[in-house]
Amino acid sequence: MLKFLIEKEFKQIFRNPYLLRLIIVMPFMVLLVLPLAANFEVKNINLSIIDNNHSPYSERLIHKISSSGYFKITDVSSSYEKALYSIEQDVADIILEIPSQFEQELVKEKSSNLLISANSVNGTKGGLGSVYLAGIVSDFSNEIREEWIQSSNRITTPSFTIVQQYRYNPHLEYPIYMVPALVVMLLTQICGFLPALNIVAEKEKGTIEQMNVTPVKKFTLILSKLIPYWVIGFAVLTICFGVAFLFYGLFPLGNLSTIYLFASIYVLAISGLGLVVSNYANTIQQAMFMMFFFVMTMIFLSGLYTPVNSMPDWAQFISRFSPLKYFIQVMRLVYLKGSSLTELLPKFFALIGFAIFFNAWAVLSYRKSK
């Protein structure tokens, strides 16, 4: 019986002109475009410079900034007011003011002050921009200090350097961090959204009523709705592995079977959530909106874009209830760190918990609606 029902579902899916194409195009779109577009690295910051000093030192500083690659000097103003105007006109993002006694102070008093003023309407750009700028300035001051030490030939201050080593993602490449996590988002949409919408569509069209008068058991009917999307979900997962390897040279350090195991539990959990939604929604519109509400909240709290650890305590607490969080962590750990199942056991049980919770809720809410 189940065989015929699944056959029918596949027939309908393959006959839907948009669904199948979308399912195939989506992994490429998400994995190829999103990590590049949603990059938090800030470049091309427009800088306005007020050089009140016009000395060799100030020129050296400006040259150092412009050759860093992060900044574009788009404005040179004579006063702070004028520079501020260029920020208002959106010509500049950051102002650097060099005081008129810059070189003299440096030489005489061995220290001087610079003003960095950033437009923080775009917080990331303003914040990161001023941090980069401050970094360049401090590099500059170290340079000068070393020159003086060499020229005066005496050791005054002990100095040390920090060598940074980034484990698991040595070059801090954004796609390497994002790609494993984006796969989770895809799986959520295919195995969570699609079966829920499919069931609600049958409700909306009235076809489910016709099915309910047949001897087909409700459980069989629902399984026949889920299995095709599970199959598609795993196919897409496999496509994703291929895309990640081909375009980013990414291959999990850990075992692929660990990922498939976690994926199967995760898919069970998320399609359970889909069933819950399909029980409460009577129209596709309602179902869409409910799914978006849950999935959006879960994505933002999952640590997909921003680390969970930097969220406020209450948000960190809520994030425990996002199944996405656990699977995203698992994906990153297996891909980048090569973690094995034994190290991931707590997350494994968490996902099993979600699967039981959502499916129990689905069964209960189904009974109630009847």
Partner 1 sequence: MKAISVNNIYRNYGDVEALIDISFEVEQGEIFGIIGPDGAGKTTLFRILTTLLLADKGSATVDGCDVIKDFKLIRNRVGYMPGRFSLYLDLTVEENLNFFATVFNTTIEENYYLIEDIYKQLEPFKDRRASALSGGMKQKLALCCSLIHKPTVLFLDEPTTGVDPVSRKELWEMLKKLKQQGISILVSTPYMDEAEMCDRIALIQNGNFLKIDTPKNIVNQFDNILWALSSNRMYDLLNDLRNHPKIKSCYAFGDSHHITISTDNFLLNDLNIFLNEKGHKDIEISPIKASIEDCFMQLTN
- Give the footprint of partner 1 on this chain (CB under 8 A): 1, 4-5, 8, 11-12, 15-16, 205-207, 209-216
Q: How far is the CB of 226 from partner 1 (least distance, A)?
A: 18
- Pick between residue 149 and residue 208 the one whose CB is nearest to partner 1: 208
- Pick between residue 44 and residue 210 the one whose CB is nearest to partner 1: 210
- Pick between residue 65 and residue 199 the one whose CB is nearest to partner 1: 199
- Pick between residue 206 and residue 312 the one whose CB is nearest to partner 1: 206
Q: How many Cα atoms occupy the beta-carbon half-sphere of 333 within 13 Å?
A: 18
DSSP letter assigned to residue 344: G
Q: How far is the CB of 325 from partner 1 (least distance, A)?
A: 37
Q: How far is the CB of 214 from partner 1 (least distance, A)?
A: 5
Q: How far is the CB of 18 from partner 1 (least distance, A)?
A: 12
Q: How far is the CB of 228 from partner 1 (least distance, A)?
A: 14
Tokens 């799986």, located at residue: 187
For 143, the token pair is 């340079």
Tokens 């199967």, located at residue: 264
Give the DSSP letter string of 3-36: HHHHHHHHHHHHH-TTHHHHHHHHHHHHHHHHHH
CA distances (Å), origin 21, targets 14, 186, 219? 9, 14, 29
- Pick between residue 22 and residue 216 the one whose CB is nearest to partner 1: 216
- Pick between residue 5 and residue 281 the one whose CB is nearest to partner 1: 5
Phi and psi torsions of 365, nearest 5°: -70, -25
Q: How far is the CB of 208 from partner 1 (least distance, A)?
A: 8
The helix (H) or strand (E) run that includes residue 263 is helix 256-280
45-51 and 94-98 beta bridge pairing:
parallel
- Pick between residue 2 and residue 231 the one whose CB is nearest to partner 1: 2
Instruction: Say if residues 83 and 48 touch (Cβ distance below 8 Å).
Output: yes
- Pick between residue 154 and residue 370 the one whose CB is nearest to partner 1: 370
Among 193, 177, 178, 285, CA closest to 232 = 193
- Pick between residue 16 and residue 285 the one whose CB is nearest to partner 1: 16
- Pick between residue 15 and residue 171 the one whose CB is nearest to partner 1: 15
Q: How far is the CB of 26 from partner 1 (least distance, A)?
A: 21
Q: Edge to edge, what strands does the sheet with 94-98 contain?
A: 71-76, 45-51, 94-98, 115-118
Q: How far is the CB of 206 from partner 1 (least distance, A)?
A: 4
Instruction: Say if residues 200 and 287 touch (Cβ distance below 8 Å).
Output: yes
d(C-alpha 177, C-alpha 307), whole Å:
11
45-51 and 71-76 beta bridge pairing:
parallel
Among 271, 272, 290, 230, CA closest to 364 = 272
Q: How far is the CB of 2 from partner 1 (least distance, A)?
A: 11
Q: How far is the CB of 367 from partner 1 (least distance, A)?
A: 12
Give the DSSP letter string of 178-218: HHHHHHHHHHHIIIIIHHHHHHHHHHHHTHHHHHHTSS--H
